[in-house]
């Protein structure tokens, strides 16, 4: 499905990452691999360090810390926030929405919208689409888009498929109407028939957590995990991405009538370096235009990965310069989405640690 938005802009991104850093080598002993094989995998996939939150931390802690940072530094005013839009798969409760919890902790006005959306790897795109739609309302001038996930708590330390790449974190993206002509070309696709390609099988209403769902089992590849843990069918997800993402980007470029060479950066979701390099090669995009350095430095925090890629790779340059960027998210759902938009002289674009 193609989507089109007009006169919307991002005015700042703040990424909040855990201060706690864990090195790949320190976790190798948990994996059912020889050390040499683990190190080869580290090189190929780009694993190195990942940021893991403390066990008692929650996503509202990260979001509140970040919003307070912006307020204290004069980058955001409480009364300006007309919508808190939270994209997460780590909600604090089944009810109420965590965005309401954040609103309450911050003491924001009542005359506003709080909304949670359950999405992951494409959560930044879906959050932006929803923010753009909310901004069509005359009384909504500023949307605070929150992407936050602390999924390391749901990943088995003995699962070499998922544990080396997982990261925790949150991002705050300010989305507003733009007075200048600014057309955003976008698309999105979903395939719920493969809903179990990335899943936490137990813990919901269908299969509530019990002592049995917490028991670790070994799979055929030697990973140990319980039904309470995140499980990823890595081969299926890889094949899905390599099959669906390149044509999605080609279609987007055709629809937008934009030449591939005119895109300054391809800021894609960050599952691992190997997958991103293969996508860049398939799309005939220079690898330096598609940063793949987030997993090795921070881990993959789901919908936070693209904001992290933008803040880490462009930093303060984005407060002075403009870039035409193509974003793409792909994963859980299955969901895949992409958009092309100009990002222009943000008020802030930085990473802080919590």
Partner 1 sequence: MNQEIINILQEIRPEFDFSQNINFIEEGMLDSFDVVTLVTTLDEKYSISIDGMDILPENFASINSIVALLIKNGVKS
Residue carrying the six token digits 């937008």: 256
Q: Which window, 17-25, 73-81, 179-187, 232-240, contacts partner 1 (CB under 8 A)? A: 232-240
| Residue 289 found at the interface with partner 1 (CB under 8 A) | no
Distance of CA 346 to the CA centre of its chain: 19
| Residue 278 found at the interface with partner 1 (CB under 8 A) | yes
| Residue 160 found at the interface with partner 1 (CB under 8 A) | yes
Specify the residue, 8 or 50, whose C-beta has the smaller distance to partner 1: 50
Neighbours of 127 (CB within 10 A): 28
Specify the residue, 185 or 268, whose C-beta has the smaller distance to partner 1: 268
Specify the residue, 134 or 279, whose C-beta has the smaller distance to partner 1: 279
Whether 304 and 170 have beta carbons less than 8 Å apart is answered as: yes
Count of residues binding partner 1 (CB under 8 A)?
Answer: 23
Question: Shortest gap between Cβ of 277 and partner 1 (angstroms)?
Answer: 8
Question: Shortest gap between Cβ of 290 and partner 1 (angstroms)?
Answer: 13
Residue carrying the six token digits 């499905």: 1
Strand 21-23 and strand 49-51: pairing?
A: antiparallel
- Tell me how far CA of residue 132 lies from CA of 137, 149, 266, 324, in angstroms: 10, 22, 21, 18
Cα distance between residue 97 and residue 351, in whole Å: 26
| Residue 238 found at the interface with partner 1 (CB under 8 A) | yes
Residues 96-125 that bind partner 1 (CB under 8 A): none
**Quick one: tokens of 342?**
């100009």
Burial category of 131 from C-beta neighbours within 10 Å (exposed 0-12, middle 13-18, buried 19 and up): buried
Residues 32-51 that bind partner 1 (CB under 8 A): 33, 37, 40-41, 43-45
Radius of gyration of the chain (CA): 19
Whether 354 and 16 have beta carbons less than 8 Å apart is answered as: yes
Cα distance between residue 329 and residue 166, in whole Å: 16
Which of 83, 275, 301, 304 binds partner 1 (CB under 8 A)? It is 275
Whether 112 and 81 have beta carbons less than 8 Å apart is answered as: yes
| Residue 164 found at the interface with partner 1 (CB under 8 A) | no
| Residue 79 found at the interface with partner 1 (CB under 8 A) | no
| Residue 286 found at the interface with partner 1 (CB under 8 A) | no
Question: Shortest gap between Cβ of 310 and partner 1 (angstroms)?
Answer: 24
Q: Which window, 66-74, 206-214, 279-287, 297-305, contacts partner 1 (CB under 8 A)? A: 279-287
Cα distance between residue 270 and residue 321, in whole Å: 24
Which of 12, 18, 120, 234 binds partner 1 (CB under 8 A)? It is 234
Q: Which chain residues interact with partner 1 by CB under 8 A?
A: 33, 37, 40-41, 43-45, 160, 221, 234-235, 238-239, 241-243, 274-275, 277-279, 281-282
């Amino acid at each position: 499905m193609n989507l089109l938005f007009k006169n919307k802009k991002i005015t700042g991104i703040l990424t909040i990452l855990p201060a706690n850093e864990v090195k790949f080598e320190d976790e190798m002993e948990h994996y059912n691999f020889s050390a040499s094989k683990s190190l080869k995998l580290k090189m190929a996939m780009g694993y190195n360090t990942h940021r893991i939150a403390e066990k008692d931390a929650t996503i509202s802690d990260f979001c509140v810390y970040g919003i307070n940072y912006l307020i204290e530094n004069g980058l955001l005013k409480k009364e300006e926030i007309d919508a808190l839009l939270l994209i997460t798969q780590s909600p604090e409760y089944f009810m109420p929405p965590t965005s309401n919890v954040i609103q309450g902790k911050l003491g924001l006005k009542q005359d506003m919208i709080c909304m949670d959306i359950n999405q992951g790897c494409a959560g930044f795109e879906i959050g932006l689409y929803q923010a753009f739609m909310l901004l069509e309302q005359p009384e909504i001038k500023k949307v605070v888009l929150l992407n936050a996930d602390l999924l390391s708590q749901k990943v088995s330390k003995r699962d070499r498929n998922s544990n080396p790449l997982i990261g925790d974190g949150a991002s705050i993206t300010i989305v507003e109407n733009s007075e200048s002509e600014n057309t955003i070309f976008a698309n999105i696709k979903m395939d719920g028939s493969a809903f179990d390609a990335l899943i936490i099988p137990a813990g919901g209403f269908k299969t509530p957590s019990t002592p049995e769902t917490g028991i670790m089992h070994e799979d055929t590849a030697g990973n140990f995990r319980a039904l309470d843990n995140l499980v990823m069918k890595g081969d299926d997800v890889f094949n899905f991405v390599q099959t669906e993402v390149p044509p999605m980007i080609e279609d987007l470029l055709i629809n937008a009538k934009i030449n591939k060479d005119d895109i300054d950066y391809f800021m894609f979701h960050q599952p691992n370096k190997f997958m991103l390099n293969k996508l860049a090669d398939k799309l005939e995009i220079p690898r330096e235009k598609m940063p793949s350095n987030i997993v090795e430095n921070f881990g993959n925090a789901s919908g936070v990965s693209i904001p992290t890629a933008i803040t880490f790779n462009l930093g303060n340059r984005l407060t002075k310069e403009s870039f035409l960027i193509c974003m793409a998210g792909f994963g859980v759902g299955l969901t895949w989405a992409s958009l092309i938009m100009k990002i222009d002289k943000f008020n802030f674009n930085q990473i802080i640690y919590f």
